[in-house]
């Protein structure tokens, strides 16, 4: 009965798979609906019939191809929760169905229809990614290898098998295969790559498979003989007749450079010859990979240098100084690539060519070796910078800009000082590529060699006027040039942040700069909105870095200009979704500017009134920006409102009735988790602004925050902020937090247990763990302080858990300083709130005692003071009898 | 060909600070949170210090009352405080003067409580400075607006006089600026009519509340002589000021402070915690003795004449008279400066007495 049913479906499915690709929408939709029904009614049968369709040589290629794709999409999805769901579905399917499906897929690998075998290879890898870690498909590797070792198998099958092996290696982790399996896979792959392999398609597939298998080959790379053999095969493939094989082989070399840097020494001579020849004469796709090899070596050496303890120069057993050794030949090689520009490379953001990758590599080399690059690059720069051919001038300028990071200021400053005037003149070059690269170089100069705060800058009172004159004039140049000019102003302004009296040198130019930036933002000749956003971002930086005591009036004058621009966006005619997007982007930029202005002016009491004066209008604008969208909340507007709440304080209460629904919307935005995170942050701002006046909104806010916390859908990075918000709310509403305690505390407790399980070897996870620890402590602090006056006893039953958590964190070494601070503070809050009740509990807290002692000795004054306060609180708790 | 993601930013770095704005927002929020929690800690602590005020926690006005209370304690308002006159000034300075000086009663506690043992160990290791405390009236000396005022522990005025302190007299050179004022923690030593400066809270408008003891002593020693305040009295400088010799709190320093000769009558030793800022001392002002010794006092017969009473002729009378004070919590203290707690009466007894 079952077989019959499947058979029937198999018959019908071809027609639906074909219809689903029909140009007619109705036919297409109907077919998709029916396929969906099949899937929902009988998933195992549906998947089986798809695999049968894919394997059936009698079916049309189109239906076979789509069957494969639908099958693949039934096993994997980009989105993590959906993917989990699909995996669970597959695992639950009856084993007899699964083995039939897998068999048909393996058969399909041998088909003559390339599209079908290619898709089958991907599907096999998807199933392998589910089943190999679970040890549910142990025979797979053996079956695939049999395809390779048995001499009678056709080349097409070998090719598809190699492809499959490559995909599998891409999908699974190297712990999922046994070493003997790895050995067998590598043997098969390397054999396929060998120069003796007659079929170029097989050789290509093998080379690509090796690229994915390299991660599995650590043990093999440790063995000199095996390593020699693999390296020989790869280097031979880099000389293959076929471009694609050469490219794939160089890709392998790039990957080897970063994975097996430490064993490369014996092969470097050969690799240098190969890459050098490729850069000089091979096709661009291959040459790019050859340059990339050297960029990867730089990455490795920079990383080693980063970790190297400066005092022990010989600790660098790992450091082979490949770049240093290759320098005299590598630098000229890279400089030559700079002359191979494309005509339209500045207008088109998607272009990546030899000149650009060569310049990028040159920059990395400069970072790696420092001063030594300067004498090697300068002759090229000096020879070419004044030539009549624009390519020479541009290449020289690009080289100059590329080597500005890495060498010392002492080495660079003479050439930059003498070259600056030349560069300023070159902003009038007849060629726009030259102007583009010159503006970028100025940008780098101001970023790297302009730091009046620390006492060094190539900008002087004598040349500042000329610099700004040239920059403001060039802001009218072609959009791609203007954009880089904005960048130059951005870094120029940044250098003057907190730079004492030097800042005053810059102040007189600010009004003109702001005007030019606004005019530039309004330009309509840019191909995209990049110039506009760069202009506004630069304007933000100028405002942010300025000395408020000198620019208060300038910024106050800017405020109504930006407000009226935001007001104008509300009147834009919005017809298409494209219009809507453009309006939203512009509003984002303007809200960003307003946020920066609000934050700047409200940072000092003297200028705060400017914001308070227009707070109503600002809020109205932000609310109307929210109104432009129906389903989502405008992120930048939310950020600006947070800043406004901070500025207005309790006055913000009057906006709450209107604003509240958008806050709610933001807190529920799981998909755009950044928006959710910002909304959570704004909850804190509002708590501090309103204090207990936030009470009427708390039920719903807490409900949403708790929902956010328990959601598997919401990105984890938002969760620490939610705990901090608990603390903010508790601090604001005090004892009124009582009704939430039974919901919030279990969450805090389970999160503190999560902290203990976080993998500290992963740097990103470690950061996350620290954030989480800090935020849980902040939540406890808020609660303890909130309840302290009247209901401290509510926290008594939860104190042992908190202390346990504190003990655990206190034991951590090394410990993040911000975590220590929060831990020591909450320890004091606990003693402060619970008084003598803590005496007995503290008996077992030796780690906390040590933590306190450690913090009292800290170099951080703030930490020391907090620790002293905590010490006092504990002392007081102990002195009270009872 | 499209650029690989990793290499893209080199020449085409586009300036987009959205993430930075988020980060800056987060930073601001987290600073504000720290500040709010900090304020709350401070307010609560002050609250427990001002328990004698007739306020109950359920009254809504409560917060309004407490707010300015703790504001007054924070260094920000020192500038305001020097402008205060009359009862307000008395009240403010009375609070500031409630700075702790403690008897060390370590031994018993050491034995009774392991935890305090460890804490005490930390305390002791934290004490850096020691000096011989001059005998006399503990007071605050404030110079501002061309005059100098000294106030006793209860806030009442001791002297109003011209001094060589910045803005301490109406001389041509004084700036008269309201910004430029000094607050000194002094002991007025009757015998030589000298103000011995034992600490510095503000100097020429600069608050030293947040500075560690080390810096305050350094500043005091370098600035006080400079002004001529240590010179002999003159028309515009009625009383002499003097610094005290501060020793490092090691064996030698302790011995020097304990046995060394000084130009004044000794009244015990004062120990300063090396990280004790004035701000924290103020915060800890009302804790029970012995708990948070950021400043400690030690007295015995070798370094203080006030261990036992003497009569007007310097003879030790047959009977020692002690005035005792019954504190609200039932503890019994001497009315010495500082008070010595030596017992605790039980509640029944207090009820009976009352």
Q: ipTM of this predicted complex?
A: 0.73
Token pair for residue A804? 């346990």
CB contact under 8 A, A292 and B7: yes
CB contact under 8 A, A534 and B1: no
Per-residue pLDDT reduced to its tens digit, A51-64: 999 999 999 999 99
CB contact under 8 A, B16 and A537: yes
CB contact under 8 A, A856 and B122: yes
Give every CB contact of residue A739 below 8 A, 6+ residues apart in sequence.
none
pLDDT category, B88, cuts 50, 70, 90? low
Backbone angles phi, psi at A663, to 5 degrees: -60, -45
- Dihedral (Cα; A139, A142, A148, A152), 10-degree rounding: -80
Report the C-alpha gap between A538 and A516 in whole angstroms.
11
Give the pLDDT score at B282. Answer: 44
Q: How far is A548 from chain B (nearest CA, A)?
A: 18
Question: Which among A299-313, B96-110, B301-315 has the top mean pLDDT?
Answer: A299-313
E strand intervals along A211-349: none
Q: How far is A352 from chain B (nearest CA, A)?
A: 5
Report the C-alpha gap between A106 and A90 in whole angstroms.
18
CB contact under 8 A, A869 and B25: no
Question: Which among A824-838, B47-61, B172-186 has the top mean pLDDT?
Answer: A824-838
Q: How far is CA A652 from CA A592, A737, B40, B67, in A?
A: 20, 21, 21, 20
CB contact under 8 A, A872 and B30: no
Q: Please say if the pLDDT value at position B353 is more than 80.
A: no
> What is the residue whose two structure tokens read 């022990």?
A312
Token pair for residue A326? 């290759």
Report the C-alpha gap between A592 and B48 in whole angstroms.
44
Site from A303, A493, A650, A875 to mutate, B interface, most B CB atoms within 10 angstroms: A875
Interchain contact B346–A (C-beta under 8 A): no
Residue numbers in A near B31 (CB within 8 A): none
Q: Give me the residues of A, 631-660, that contact B with CB < 8 A.
A: 636, 639, 642-643, 646
CB contact under 8 A, A636 and B288: no
Interchain contact A296–B (C-beta under 8 A): no
Helix (H) or strand (E) holding B76: none
CB contact under 8 A, A678 and B22: yes
Residue among B336, B139, B171, B95 at smallest CA distance from B241:
B139
Q: Give me the residues of A, 765-794, that contact B with CB < 8 A.
A: 778, 781-782, 785, 788-790
Give every CB contact of residue A13 below 8 A, 6+ residues apart in sequence.
A35, A38, A49, A50, A53, A63, A67
Interchain contact A616–B (C-beta under 8 A): no
Q: How far is CA A505 from CA A331, A496, A513, A552, B236, in A?
A: 39, 9, 14, 16, 44
Q: How far is CA B169 from CA A87, B142, B227, B230, B235, in A?
A: 86, 11, 12, 15, 10
pTM reported for the whole predicted model: 0.70
- Higher pLDDT pick, B189 / A6: B189
> What is the residue whose two structure tokens read 């030589």?
B192
Q: How far is B215 from chain A (nearest CA, A)?
A: 13
- Higher pLDDT pick, A398 / B308: A398
- Which among A363, A437, A781 has the least Cβ separation from residue B37? A781
* A315-346 core/surface letters (b: 16 or more CB in 10 A; e: else): eeeebbebbbebbeebbebbbbbbbbbeeebb
Give the pLDDT score at A177. Answer: 87
Q: How far is A575 from chain B (nearest CA, A)?
A: 27
Token pair for residue A725? 């918000």
CB contact under 8 A, A849 and B118: yes
Verify cis geometry, omega within 30 degrees of 0, for the bond prior to A814: yes
CB contact under 8 A, B32 and A681: no
CB contact under 8 A, B280 and A865: yes
Interchain contact B9–A (C-beta under 8 A): no
Give the pLDDT score at B337. Answer: 57
CB contact under 8 A, B30 and A871: no
Let me know: does A435 contact A427? Beta carbons within 8 Å.
Answer: yes
Interchain contact A877–B (C-beta under 8 A): no
> Taken in order A495, A498, A499, A505, is the CA torsion positive or negative?
positive
- Which among B7, B41, B57 has the least Cβ separation from residue A295? B7
> What is the residue whose two structure tokens read 């004892």?
A735
Interchain contact B27–A (C-beta under 8 A): no
Helix (H) or strand (E) holding B297: strand B295-298
Token pair for residue A705? 């925050």
Residues of chain A with pLDDT under 50: 1-8, 10, 316, 881-882
Interchain contact A406–B (C-beta under 8 A): no
Residue numbers in B near A295 (CB within 8 A): 7
B324-326/B331-334 β-pairing: antiparallel
Give the pLDDT score at A578. Answer: 87
Residue among B8, B3, B77 at smallest CA distance from B46:
B77
Give every CB contact of residue A364 below 8 A, 6+ residues apart in sequence.
A294, A295, A298, A299, A302
Q: How far is CA A666 from CA A92, A591, A633, A701, in A?
A: 37, 16, 6, 11
Report the C-alpha gap between A472 and A434 in whole angstroms.
18
Give the pLDDT score at A827. Answer: 93
Residue numbers in B near A480 (CB within 8 A): none
Give the pLDDT score at B348. Answer: 66
Neighbours of A131 (CB within 10 A): 20
Q: How far is CA A244 from CA A231, A240, A251, A284, A543, in A?
A: 18, 9, 10, 12, 52
Q: Please say if the pLDDT value at position B106 is more than 80.
A: no
CB contact under 8 A, B29 and A681: yes
Report the C-alpha gap between A264 and A228 in whole angstroms.
10
Report the C-alpha gap between B281 and A807 in whole angstroms.
29
Give the pLDDT score at A882. Answer: 43
Q: How far is A117 from chain B (nearest CA, A)?
A: 28
Verify cis geometry, omega within 30 degrees of 0, for the bond prior to B338: yes
CB contact under 8 A, B17 and A541: yes
Residue numbers in B near A869 (CB within 8 A): 41, 280, 283
Interchain contact A537–B (C-beta under 8 A): yes
> What is the residue whose two structure tokens read 């306190």?
A852
Termini Cα distance of chain B: 95
Q: How far is B235 from chain A (nearest CA, A)?
A: 42
> What is the residue whose two structure tokens read 């988020």?
B22
Per-residue pLDDT reduced to its tens digit, B218-258: 788 888 888 889 988 888 889 999 998 888 766 677 778 77
- Dihedral (Cα; A592, A598, A604, A610), 10-degree rounding: 150
pLDDT category, B58, cuts 50, 70, 90? very low
Report the C-alpha gap between A818 and A660 in whole angstroms.
32
Inter-axis angle of helices A354-369 and A373-384, to 10 degrees?
A: 140
* A594-612 core/surface letters (b: 16 or more CB in 10 A; e: else): bbbbbbbbbeeeebbebbb
- Which among B32, B44, B275 has the least Cβ separation from residue A868? B275
Let me know: does A875 contact B116? Beta carbons within 8 Å.
Answer: yes
């Amino acid at each position: 009965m079952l077989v019959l049913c499947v058979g029937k479906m198999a018959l019908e499915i071809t027609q639906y798979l074909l219809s689903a690709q029909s140009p007619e929408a109705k036919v297409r939709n109907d077919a998709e609906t029916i396929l969906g029904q099949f899937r929902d009614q009988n998933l195992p049968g549906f998947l089986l019939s798809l695999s049968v369709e894919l394997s059936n040589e009698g079916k049309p290629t189109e239906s076979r191809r789509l069957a494969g794709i639908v099958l693949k999409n039934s096993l994997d999805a980009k989105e993590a929760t959906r993917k989990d769901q699909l995996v669970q579905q597959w695992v639950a399917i009856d084993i007899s169905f699964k083995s039939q499906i897998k068999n048909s897929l393996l058969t399909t690998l041998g088909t003559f229809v390339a599209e079908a075998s290619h898709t089958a290879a991907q599907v096999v890898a998807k199933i392998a990614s589910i089943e190999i870690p679970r040890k549910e498909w142990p025979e797979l590797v053996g079956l695939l290898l049999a395809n390779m070792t048995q001499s009678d198998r056709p080349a097409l099958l070998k090719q598809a098998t190699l492809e499959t092996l490559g995909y599998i290696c891409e999908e699974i982790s190297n712990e999922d295969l046994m070493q003997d399996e790895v050995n067998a896979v590598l043997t098969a792959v390397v054999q396929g790559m060998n120069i003796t392999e007659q079929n170029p398609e097989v050789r290509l597939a093998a080379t690509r498979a090796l690229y994915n298998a390299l991660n599995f080959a650590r043990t093999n790379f440790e063995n000199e003989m095996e390593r020699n053999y693999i390296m020989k095969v790869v280097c031979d493939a880099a000389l293959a007749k076929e471009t694609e094989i050469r490219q794939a082989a160089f890709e392998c070399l790039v990957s080897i450079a970063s994975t097996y840097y430490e064993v490369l020494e014996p092969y470097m001579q050969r690799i240098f010859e190969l890459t050098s020849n490729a850069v000089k004469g091979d096709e661009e796709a291959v040459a790019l990979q050859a340059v990339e090899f050297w960029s990867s070596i730089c990455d490795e050496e920079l990383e080693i240098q980063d970790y190297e303890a400066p005092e022990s120069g010989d600790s660098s057993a790992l450091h082979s100084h490949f770049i240093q050794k290759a320098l005299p030949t590598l630098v000229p090689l890279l400089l030559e690539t700079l002359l191979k520009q494309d005509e339209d490379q500045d207008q088109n953001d998607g272009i990546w060519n030899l000149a650009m990758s060569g310049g990028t590599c040159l920059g990395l080399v400069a970072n790696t070796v420092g001063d030594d690059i300067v004498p090697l690059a300068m002759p090229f720069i000096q020879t070419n910078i004044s030539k009549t051919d624009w390519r020479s001038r541009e290449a020289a300028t690009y080289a100059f800009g590329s080597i500005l990071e890495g060498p010392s200021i002492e080495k660079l400053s003479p050439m930059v000082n003498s070259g600056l005037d030349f560069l300023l003149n070159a902003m009038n070059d007849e060629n726009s590529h030259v102007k583009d690269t010159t503006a970028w170089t100025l940008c780098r100069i101001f970023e790297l060699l302009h730091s009046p705060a620390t006492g060094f800058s190539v900008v002087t009172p004598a040349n500042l006027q000329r610099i700004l004159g040239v920059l403001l004039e060039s802001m009218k140049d072609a959009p791609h040039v203007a954009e880089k000019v904005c960048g130059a102003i951005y870094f120029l302004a940044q250098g003057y942040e907190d730079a004492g009296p030097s800042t005053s040198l810059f102040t007189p130019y600010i009004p003109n700069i702001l005007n030019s930036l606004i005019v530039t933002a309004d330009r309509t000749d840019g191909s995209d909105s990049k110039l506009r956003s760069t202009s506004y971002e630069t304007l933000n930086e100028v405002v942010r870095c300025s000395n408020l005591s000198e620019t208060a009036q300038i910024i106050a004058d800017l405020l109504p200009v930006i407000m009226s621009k935001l007001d104008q966006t509300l009147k834009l005619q919005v017809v298409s979704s494209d219009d809507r997007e453009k309006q939203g982007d512009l509003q984002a930029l303007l809200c960003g500017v307003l946020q920066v202005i609000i934050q700047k002016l409200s940072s000092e009491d003297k200028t705060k009134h400017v914001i308070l004066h227009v707070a109503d209008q600002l809020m109205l604008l932000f609310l109307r920006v929210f109104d432009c969208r129906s389903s989502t909340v405008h992120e930048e507007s939310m950020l600006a409102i947070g800043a406004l709440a901070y500025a207005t304080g309790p006055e913000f209460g009057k906006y709450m009735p209107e604003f509240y629904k958008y806050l709610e919307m933001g807190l529920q935005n799981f998909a755009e988790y950044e928006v959710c995170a910002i909304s959570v942050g704004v909850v804190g701002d509002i708590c501090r602004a309103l204090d207990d006046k936030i009470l009427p909104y708390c039920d719903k806010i807490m409900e949403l925050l708790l929902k956010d916390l328990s959601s598997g859908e919401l990105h984890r990075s938002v969760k620490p902020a939610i705990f901090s918000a608990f603390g903010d709310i508790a601090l604001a509403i005090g004892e009124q937090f009582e009704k939430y305690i039974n919901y919030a505390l279990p969450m805090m407790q389970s999160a503190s247990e999560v902290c203990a399980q976080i993998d500290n070897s992963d740097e990103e996870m470690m950061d996350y763990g620290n954030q989480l620890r800090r935020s849980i402590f902040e939540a406890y602090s808020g609660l303890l302080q909130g309840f302290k006056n009247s209901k401290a006893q509510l926290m008594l039953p939860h104190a042992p858990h908190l202390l346990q958590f504190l003990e655990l964190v206190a034991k951590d070494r090394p410990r993040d300083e911000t975590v220590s601070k929060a831990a020591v503070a909450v320890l004091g809050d606990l003693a402060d709130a619970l008084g003598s009740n803590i005496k007995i509990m503290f008996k077992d807290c030796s780690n906390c005692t040590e933590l306190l002692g450690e913090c009292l000795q800290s170099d951080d004054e703030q930490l020391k003071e907090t620790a002293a306060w905590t010490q006092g609180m504990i002392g007081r708790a102990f002195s009270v009898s009872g | 060909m499209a650029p690989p993601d990793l290499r893209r930013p080199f020449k085409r770095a586009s300036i987009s600070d959205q993430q930075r704005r988020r980060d800056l927002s987060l930073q601001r929020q987290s600073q504000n949170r720290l500040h709010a929690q900090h304020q709350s800690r401070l307010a609560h602590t002050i609250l427990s210090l001002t328990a004698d005020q007739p306020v109950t926690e359920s009254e809504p006005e409560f917060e309004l009352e407490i707010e300015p209370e703790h504001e007054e304690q924070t260094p920000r308002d020192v500038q305001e405080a020097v402008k205060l006159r009359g009862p307000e000034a008395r009240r403010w300075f009375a609070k500031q003067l409630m700075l702790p000086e403690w008897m060390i009663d370590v031994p018993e506690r050491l034995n009774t409580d392991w935890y305090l043992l460890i804490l005490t160990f930390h305390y002791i290791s934290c004490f850096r400075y020691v000096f011989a405390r001059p005998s006399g009236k503990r007071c605050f000396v404030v110079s501002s607006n061309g005059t100098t005022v000294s106030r006793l522990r209860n806030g009442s005025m001791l002297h109003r006089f011209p001094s060589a302190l910045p803005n301490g007299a109406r001389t041509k050179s004084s700036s008269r600026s309201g910004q430029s004022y000094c607050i000194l923690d002094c002991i007025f030593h009757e015998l030589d009519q000298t103000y011995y400066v034992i600490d510095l809270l503000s100097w020429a408008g600069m608050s030293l509340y947040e500075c560690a003891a080390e810096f305050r002593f350094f500043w005091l020693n370098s600035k006080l002589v400079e002004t001529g305040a240590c010179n002999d009295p003159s028309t515009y400088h009625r009383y002499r000021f003097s610094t005290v010799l501060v020793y490092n709190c090691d064996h030698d320093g302790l011995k020097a402070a304990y046995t060394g000769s000084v130009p004044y009558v000794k009244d015990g030793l004062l120990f300063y915690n090396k990280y004790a800022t004035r701000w924290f001392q103020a915060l800890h002002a009302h804790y029970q003795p012995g708990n948070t010794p950021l400043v400690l006092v030690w007295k015995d017969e070798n370094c203080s004449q006030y261990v036992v009473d003497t009569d007007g002729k310097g003879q030790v009378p047959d009977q020692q008279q002690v005035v005792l004070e019954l504190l609200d919590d039932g503890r019994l203290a001497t009315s010495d400066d500082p008070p010595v707690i030596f017992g605790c009466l039980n509640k029944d007894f207090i009820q009976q007495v009352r």
